[in-house]
Amino acid sequence: MIPLVDSLLALVFLTVLFSLNCHRLLGLIRIMAIQGIIVSLIPFLLEKPEGTLLVNVGVLLVIVIVKGLIIPGMLLFAIRKVQIRKEVEPIISYNASIFIGLLVIYVSVLISGRMHLTALSSYPLLLPAAFTALAAGLFLLMARRKAITQIIGYLMMENGIYLAGAVLAKHARTQHIVEFGILLDLLVGVMIMGIILHRINHSYDDADTTFLEQLKD
């Protein structure tokens, strides 16, 4: 039987590939909500954390709610406000994006294998999943025109950082502090991007970031 953690990490790879080939923003937000819930669960399944069960469950619920409900809800509210539903004319085509996504997964596996981390011998997919989410999020930032899609790329990068933090964290208490710090930065970043998105749409009647090229001193 495949361990639960490995099954969840395989789903992370699938959400990355689906996101690279997703044409509609509503579908992309749903994919990111699923990915957010998955990566929230993984650190708590790797090993039994120290401390009381109530505290650990409380931290898990907060992270799941933020990643799986609050942030996707904010993004849904944003696309309703700016009235966009579909990503139009990506800089790199969707078919090419899938190929790049597969290449990213392959390179991530190669890099992870060369690191020889004995602590991860039980979960060989953990570090490749972290690298893949981080690189794919960066790719979305560069290869998509809509500001809302670029925000989603930022969120995917954060999911990769979150998984990498699960790899590096050695103590449960330290891990929770890092997780809450990441979530705080994430919420602030999403709110700032929401303001920028609103301003772009208000000024140009569109959320395509190529209009920023028209800005002059």
pLDDT of residue 105: 94
Residue 9 has pLDDT above 70, yes or no: yes
For the segment 92-106, the average pLDDT, to the nearest whole number, is 91
Residue 194 has pLDDT above 70, yes or no: no
- The pLDDT confidence band at residue 1, using thresholds 50, 70 and 90, is very low
Q: Give Cα 155 to chain centroid, integer Å.
A: 4
Residue 77 has pLDDT above 60, yes or no: yes
> 3-class DSSP state for residue 51?
coil
What does the alpha-carbon distance between residue 12 and residue 128 come to, in Å, rounded to a whole number? 10
pLDDT of residue 199: 58
Q: Specify the long-range contacts of residues 166-169, CB closer than 8 Å, at least 24 apart.
A: 166/42, 166/43, 166/46, 166/126, 166/130, 167/117, 167/120, 167/126, 167/127, 167/130, 169/43
For the segment 187-197, the average pLDDT, to the nearest whole number, is 63
> Percent of the chain at pLDDT above 70?
65
- Domain residues for the domain of 45 are 4-214
For the segment 29-44, the average pLDDT, to the nearest whole number, is 89
More confident call, 119 vs 122: 122
Q: Which of 46-50, 77-81, 160-164, 208-212 has the highest mean pLDDT?
A: 160-164
Q: Give Cα 100 to chain centroid, integer Å.
A: 17
Structural domains counted in the chain: 1
- The pLDDT confidence band at residue 58, using thresholds 50, 70 and 90, is confident
Residue 13 has pLDDT above 90, yes or no: yes
